[in-house]
Amino acid sequence: MLNIRINMNLYRFVYDSTEPVELDVFVKNVSTLIIKIFEINTMSYYRENLSEINTKINLDGLVPNEEMVFEYKDAPIVRTLRKIAFPNLNKRGAFVIDVSLLRLFGATIF
């Protein structure tokens, strides 16, 4: 069984552009972790949806601005903490971080 856990209580949704953005991900029995970063054009979003950006944003059809792939060879029984840094998120804007396991299913973090 694949296992991933992200404790959302530890994360803020708003960062200053000078602050480092990191994500702590606990993985178990995961050989490949795929992270996609989407930059949202806020003006276009507001114009099309007439609402603020929320966590239920539809990513279908969007091309990620950045994709990171991590390969792990940990024992399948061990749950391991992985710290993932996002050094390119150093400018103003709205971003969605999508965490996927083996391209089968995923969880979107906003």
| Sheet with strand 22-28: strands edge to edge | 3-5, 22-28, 79-85
- Supply the pLDDT for residue 110: 47
Residue 31 and residue 71 in contact, taking contact as beta carbons nearer than 8 Å? yes
Least confident of 23-27, 68-72, 105-109: 105-109
Return the domain boundaries, the chain. 3-9+21-109
- Supply the pLDDT for residue 65: 95
Residue 53 has pLDDT above 70, yes or no: yes
| Tens-place pLDDT, residues 4-43 | 666 555 566 677 778 888 888 888 888 899 999 999 998 9
The model's pTM is: 0.78
Q: Does domain 3-9+21-109 have CATH number 3.40.50?
A: no
